[in-house]
Amino acid sequence: MASEVEKKAVFDIDSAKEVVQELRASFVAGKTKDYEWRRTQLKAMLKMMDENEPQIVAALRDDLSKPELESSIYEIAMLKNSCKLALKKMKHWVMPEKAKTSLATFPSSAEIVSEPLGVVLVISAWNYPLLLSLDPVIGAIAAGNAIVLKPSEISPATASLLAKLVANYMDSSCIKVVEGAVPETTALLEQKWDKIMYTGNGRIGRIVMAAAAKHLTPVVLELGGKCPVIVDSGINLQVATRRIIAGKWGCNNGQACISPDYIITTKDYAVELVDSFKCELERFYGKNPLESKDLSRVVNSNHFARLLKLLDEDKVSSKIVYGGERDKSNLKIAPTILLDVPQDSLIMNEEIFGPLLPIITIDKVEDSFDLINSGTKPLAVYMFTNNKKLKEKFVEKVSAGGLVINDTTVHLAEPTLPFGGVGDSGMGAYHGKFSFDTFSHKKAVLYRSFAGDAPLRYPPYTNGKLRLLKALLGGSILGIIRALMGWSKA
Amino acid sequence: MLSSMEKSIAELRETFKNGGTKSISWRKSQLKALLQLINQNEDSIFKALDQDLGKSPVESYRDEVGVLKKSVTYTLSCLEKWVAPKKAEVPLLFFPAKAEVMPQPLGVVLIFSSWNFPFTLALDPLIGAISAGNTVLLKPSDLAPACMSFLVETIPKYLDNKAVKVLAGGADIGERLLQLKWDKIFFTGSPRVGRLVMAAAAKHLTPVTLELGGKSPAIVDTLSTTPSKAKVTAKRIVGGKWGPCTGQACIAIDYVLVEEKLASTLIELLKKTIKRFYGENIKSLKNISRIVNKHQFQRLVNLLKDPNVADSIVYGGSVDEEKLVIEPTILLDPPLDSEIMSEEIFGPLLPIITLKNIEESIDFINSKSNPLVIYAFTEDDTFKKRILSETSSGTVTFNDSMVQFLCDSLPFGGVGQSGFGRYHGKYSFDTFSHEKSIMHRGFYPEIEPRYPPWTDFKLLFLKLAYQFDYFGLILLLLGFKRS
């Protein structure tokens, strides 16, 4: 009993090494490559979610005060869909892809074979602790890897639950959950992985990539940034407002990487927009939003203090046009809208990740493109407009992980779209087949025969050979015939 | 006060920001200019390659000039297709909606190239970067100085100076470049430097492609088929070892695995072929490159210093320090823990490792880190399948060597210690692009259950919606379903 407690107490470099060794042995033994094993694990994960929905919802309530609907839909339902998609499509994903061959390598045939990378590390975040942990794991399993999942310690109830459930439902010799905080994560990062996927912020992203560099481990970094929403006039304002609200406060109370961070609209339209927000916010959350059960709380006191710092900055607090109320004991901040905060304020220079929504105004809508491009590239940019030309310009000019026109956040649910960032918002992508691909190595295979061994490849090198080579690489049949005839003359 | 290096990069950033590299016509004009550069300077290119590496024009054409011309031509013919957004399927639930993925340039990219194929490894990535619409700083290796000078002098005469720059210099310049912020770094070279590049990139969250190396083995199982196949096998092994830059190539055959009872047959065939291709001895050596510099020469000579290794030489072994030449050398079963069997050789020394049974080659290869290529000469389909599924490498080529490099439709890159990321053909375009997701939605119809206040009805609705259970949804809306 005592030694068990001792063993559990410290997860250090040696423990990390042991875990990796065990998983590598499982991988080398071919356990995870086996197609049936992959299917069994995915089915087990589905069962795990079906049989534990109330416990999952309770853990998310503990960690985040997440409303049941958000937990059921944005975490559980999305995960189940992802699992089902993988189960349905995996047989296609694992098939080799034929590749064309050209005259230069005739006769030959070629294909691209997907193989697992090996032993992979998934580090997830606290805001969607179930989804961001298991969605990458689905891809890693489908691709045939052994996996360590390190959930965030900032959502401890969910992390514990995950550890327990994964151990009960899935193959522990190939899939493990390691709980812990900075020391445990550091111990894990010292090991050699075949791929690391990290969801979180840029500061830690840099640390993860630097650790990966020591072992030449490829990484996927799903980071964040300030996701702006451009609001043009001449739209259905009510629908637009509601969709922004759903994407902001409806997504873990603004604590989501793809939540609308701030709004850009024209000076002329701002007042109408603010009024629309006031109206819809009250309709959704009532007159006392601090008491609404349909809003997550701020995750912990650190983030609560951070958000208040943004809100209470002198040049900012005077710009509040709606909300601003706070309840420290329950870690709640009411949906808050600010109008025209200065560009150099704190709130406009870091990812908000909370229920505060600044509105910036400009003269012309088109000015928003340059404004957004002058900052670091965000994970997503949203625009509400009916102007076709503006849409085209938007799509062409604005650089971000993903763009949505006339809605917010929904592209996350679209498995045929790669989900990931660019620049400071990250590198790599996943969802759907992209998850499978991101945890695979795409091995090129060329089949050659012994027929047709062209002497022109080999020394002695002559001018005739040079001529023929030029023609062959140039790909023109006529050129080759000419050179062949010329060569045979020589 | 900005250094000239920082000013250059600022100019590249400005050009990119102003959209100078965005249009397809600009990209095509640059690619055509590159083609012109190669066509109009073939002789100078041959001369530089001869100077730096002793490459003959045929080798230079086959491995550098010809490869590049083919690459540019292919890219020009496919560019419009590659640049076009790709439609993505959208489920009915989101109707009306349109989804697509649009490739976009990353911005300002840095390309480090290596000395062994100083033109191919510099300009092939450049083709990819330009075709994807980026501005580029190219840093060729100073270990091939004539080629580097050629690139520094000639590229500005053909390409848009505001968008494509070439910087000369050594490791110190490389280090300074790595301190700055890039939107992508493409590196070809050794794993040791690859680590430094990635660590520097991590500071700016810059994505990287690392084309590294490793020990690429050749499994030989075709010596007892027919005499002509055995001969062709030997030719392809010789061509795959000493053909590319006398073994100084990431995809050169590093060592050979063969069954012990066939070792002497193989060695005899190899000897005959070597003599026919390259001459009888070191004095009459021809049609082969030389070692790039004294440092590499010394490194290779040192590999042979170990007496157990020296004892295993069965052909060649002579060196000429003045001319920086080492003749094609074959070793039979050097000790497995010697440096020559643990480090990437990158030179004209070919160890032959014998096994009782050729199937053991799979475990042997797996005991080392993942190579860039595995070459397997075999006609046994079962063995081929085993090699494919039980080993891991960037590429596998059956019954030949080197030619996979010419295949534009195959991704070229490593896995594990041999690197990550890939290029060639469309993969070059992709590696320098960001695939931006775009979703277009309409304002109608509106799905009310998306919005609070939450009710059981809304919960059930959304559950059914997320399962794409349209029938269930209809039942719910008609009142036939309860939570």
Domain ranges of chain B: 4-88+100-212+424-434, 217-413, 443-478
Is 80 exceeded by the pLDDT of residue A8?
no
Q: For B446, which of A239, A429, A459 is closest by C-beta distance? A: A239
Tens of pLDDT, residue by residue over A221-278, are 999 999 999 999 999 999 999 999 999 999 999 999 999 999 999 999 999 999 999 9
Interface of A with B in 312-371 (CB under 8 A): none
Q: For A284, which of B58, B411, B451 is closest by C-beta distance? A: B451
Q: For A294, which of B407, B436, B453 is closest by C-beta distance? A: B453
B278 to A459: CB separation less than 8 angstroms, yes or no: yes
The secondary structure of chain B, three-state, reads CCCHHHHHHHHHHHHHHCCCCCCHHHHHHHHHHHHHHHHHCHHHHHHHHHHHHCCCHHHHHHHHHHHHHHHHHHHHHHHHHHHCCEEECCCHHHCCEEEEEEEEECCEEEEECCCCCCCHHHHHHHHHHHHCCCEEEEECCCCCHHHHHHHHHHHHHHCCCCCEEECCCCHHHHHHHHHCCCCEEEEECCHHHHHHHHHHHHHCCCCEEEECCCCCEEEECCCCCCHHHHHHHHHHHHHHHCCCHHHCCCCCCCEEEEEHHHHHHHHHHHHHHHHHHHCCCHHHCCCCCCCCCHHHHHHHHHHCCCHHHHHCEEECCCEECCCCEECCEEEECCCCCCHHHHCCCCCCEEEEEEECCCCHHHHHHHCCCCCCEEEEECCCHHHHHHHHHHCCCCEEEECCCCHHHHCCCCCECCCHHHEECCECCHHHHHHCEEEEEEEEECCCCCCHHHCCCCCHHHHHHHHHHHCCCHHHHHHHHCCCCCC
Interface of A with B in 70-129 (CB under 8 A): 72-73, 77-78, 80-81, 99-102, 104-105, 108, 110, 112-113, 115, 117-118
- CA-based nearest residue in chain A for residue B92: A414
A461 to B56: CB separation less than 8 angstroms, yes or no: yes
Q: Is B211 among the residues known to form the active site? A: yes
pLDDT at B119: 98
Which of A94-103, A114-123, A169-178, A398-407 shows the lowest mean pLDDT across its residues?
A: A94-103
pLDDT at A485: 67
pLDDT at B465: 85
Q: How much is the average pLDDT of A111-135?
A: 97
B454 to A294: CB separation less than 8 angstroms, yes or no: yes
What span, in angstroms and rounded, lies between the C-alpha atoms of A424 and A419? 15
What span, in angstroms and rounded, lies between the C-alpha atoms of B401 and B419? 20
pLDDT at A242: 96
Q: Which of A417, A431, A468, A469 to mutate to probe the B interface, most B CBs <10 Å?
A: A417
Is 80 exceeded by the pLDDT of residue A477?
no
Question: B196: distance to nearest CA of chain A, Å?
Answer: 7
Using an 8 Å CB-CB cutoff, list chain A residues near B394: 443-444
Q: How much is the average pLDDT of A332-346?
A: 96
Q: For A410, which of B94, B199, B436 is closest by C-beta distance? A: B94
pLDDT at A332: 96
Q: How much is the average pLDDT of A290-298?
A: 95
Interface of A with B in 435-474 (CB under 8 A): 441-450, 453, 457-462, 465-466, 469-470, 473-474
Q: For A469, which of B58, B235, B239 is closest by C-beta distance? A: B58
Q: For B443, which of A236, A417, A419 is closest by C-beta distance? A: A236
Rg of chain A over Cα atoms, rounded to whole angstroms, equals 27
Question: Does A423 contact B at CB distance below 8 Å?
Answer: yes
Tens of pLDDT, residue by residue over A169-210, are 999 999 999 999 999 999 999 999 999 999 999 999 999 999
CATH 3.40.309.10 fits B217-413, yes or no: yes
Question: Does B236 contact A at CB distance below 8 Å?
Answer: yes
- CA-based nearest residue in chain A for residue B394: A443
- Catalytic site residues of A? 222, 257
At a CB cut-off of 8 Å and minimum separation 6, what does B215 contact?
Answer: B254, B255, B343, B344, B345, B368, B371
- pLDDT confidence bin for A484, thresholds 50/70/90: low
pLDDT in tens, chain B (483 residues): 568 899 999 999 999 999 999 999 999 999 999 999 999 999 999 999 999 999 999 999 999 999 999 999 999 999 999 999 999 988 877 778 899 999 999 999 999 999 999 999 999 999 999 999 999 999 999 999 999 999 999 999 999 999 999 999 999 999 999 999 999 999 999 999 999 999 999 999 999 999 999 999 999 999 888 999 999 999 999 999 999 999 999 999 999 999 999 999 999 999 999 999 999 999 999 999 999 999 999 999 999 999 999 999 999 999 999 999 999 999 999 999 999 999 999 999 999 999 999 999 999 999 999 999 999 999 999 999 999 999 999 999 999 999 888 899 999 999 999 999 999 999 999 999 999 999 999 888 888 888 988 888 888 888 888 887 888 888 887 877 665
B195 to A216: CB separation less than 8 angstroms, yes or no: yes
B437 to A401: CB separation less than 8 angstroms, yes or no: yes
Give the pTM.
0.94
pLDDT at A5: 45
Q: What percent of chain A has pLDDT over 90?
A: 87
Question: Does B5 contact A at CB distance below 8 Å?
Answer: no
Question: Does B275 contact A at CB distance below 8 Å?
Answer: no
Q: How much is the average pLDDT of A386-396?
A: 96
Question: Does A53 contact B at CB distance below 8 Å?
Answer: no
B439 to A212: CB separation less than 8 angstroms, yes or no: no
pLDDT at A4: 47
pLDDT at B95: 79
ipTM topping 0.85: yes
Question: A310: distance to nearest CA of chain B, Å?
Answer: 25
- pLDDT confidence bin for A103, thresholds 50/70/90: confident
Is 60 exceeded by the pLDDT of residue A328?
yes
- CA-based nearest residue in chain A for residue B55: A461
Q: Which CATH superfamily is domain B4-88+100-212+424-434 in?
A: Aldehyde Dehydrogenase; Chain A, domain 1 (3.40.605.10)
Cβ pair A174, A120 in contact under 8 A: no
- CA-based nearest residue in chain B for residue A463: B58
Question: Does B450 contact A at CB distance below 8 Å?
Answer: yes
pLDDT at B94: 79
- CA-based nearest residue in chain A for residue B420: A218
